[in-house]
C-alpha cells in the first residue's frame, strides 16, 4: 500500500490489524474504516479494552491459562474438582472445552505440541509443572485432551510415558474427535460427548 494514502497513524493501524489471524491488508483497511466511522462507540473502547487486557492479563503460573489473576479463576475456584487435570495444547482448546461444559476439573496448558519438524522439545513446553501437579496426592486422573493430529498424538504418547511412573489414571478423549480435527473447531455437542466417553490410554 502506498505510504502516502493515509497518515502514518492510520497506516500503522492497518499494518498492526493485518497481523491478526484472518485479517489481510484489505480486510484490515475495511476494519480501520469501520473504526474511523465509530471513533467514540468502538475505536476508543477497543483501545481501552486492549490496553486494559495487555496490562492486567498474565499467564497462570500453575496451569498456563491466561487471566487477570494468578492463579487463574479456574485454578482458584474451590468448586472445581482438584482430582482431575485436563491437559490441552492451547488456551483456545481450554476455552472450547469450557464452552462445551465438558469438564469440571482443572487444566494444564502446554502451549503447543512436541514437533520434530519445528524443533519443539519437551523443555520448550509447559510440562515440568504438569509432572509436579500430577504427583500431588489429591490428583487421581490426567486427561490428555490433545488434538487428534500427528504432533498432538505424539505429545500425548510422550506424556503418557512420562506419567506412567506416577499413581494417576491417564485418560484421553474418546475417538469422537475426528482424525486431524482440532478441538477449537468442533461443535460443543461432539466435544462434550467425546469428553464423557474418555477412556484410559
Integer-rounded Cα Rg, in Å, for the chain is 20
The answer to the question of residue 158 lying near a copy of itself (CB under 8 A) is no
> Which residues in the 86-105 window bind a copy of itself by CB under 8 A?
90-92, 95, 98-99, 101
Is 88 buried (19+), middle (13-18) or exposed (0-12) by CB count in 10 A? Answer: buried
Q: Is 166 in the site for a copy of itself (CB under 8 A)?
A: no
List the one residue from 42, 116, 166, 174 that touches a copy of itself (CB under 8 A): 42
Beta bridge partners of 84: 141
118 contacts a copy of itself (rule: CB under 8 A): no
Site of interaction with a copy of itself (CB under 8 A) = 1-2, 4-7, 9-10, 12-13, 16-17, 19-23, 27, 29-31, 33-36, 39-40, 42-54, 56-57, 66-69, 73, 90-92, 95, 98-99, 101, 184
Amino acid at each position: 500500500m502506498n505510504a502516502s494514502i493515509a497518515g502514518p497513524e492510520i497506516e500503522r493501524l492497518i499494518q498492526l490489524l493485518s497481523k491478526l489471524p484472518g485479517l489481510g491488508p484489505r480486510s484490515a483497511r475495511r476494519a480501520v474504516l469501520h473504526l474511523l466511522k465509530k471513533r467514540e462507540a468502538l475505536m476508543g473502547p477497543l483501545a481501552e479494552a486492549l490496553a486494559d487486557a495487555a496490562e492486567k492479563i498474565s499467564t497462570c503460573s500453575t496451569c498456563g491459562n491466561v487471566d487477570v489473576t494468578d492463579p487463574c479463576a479456574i485454578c482458584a475456584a474451590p468448586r472445581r474438582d482438584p482430582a482431575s487435570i485436563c491437559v490441552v495444547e492451547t488456551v483456545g482448546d481450554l476455552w472450547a472445552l469450557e464452552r462445551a461444559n465438558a469438564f469440571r476439573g482443572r487444566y494444564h496448558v502446554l502451549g503447543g505440541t512436541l514437533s520434530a519438524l519445528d524443533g519443539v522439545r519437551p523443555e520448550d513446553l509447559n510440562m515440568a509443572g504438569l509432572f509436579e501437579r500430577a504427583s500431588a496426592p489429591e490428583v487421581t486422573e490426567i486427561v490428555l485432551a490433545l488434538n487428534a493430529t500427528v504432533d498432538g498424538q505424539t505429545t500425548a504418547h510422550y506424556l503418557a510415558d512420562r506419567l506412567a511412573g506416577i499413581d494417576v489414571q491417564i485418560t484421553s478423549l474418546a475417538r469422537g474427535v475426528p482424525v486431524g480435527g482440532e478441538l477449537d473447531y468442533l461443535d460443543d455437542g461432539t466435544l462434550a460427548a467425546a469428553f464423557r466417553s474418555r477412556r484410559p490410554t
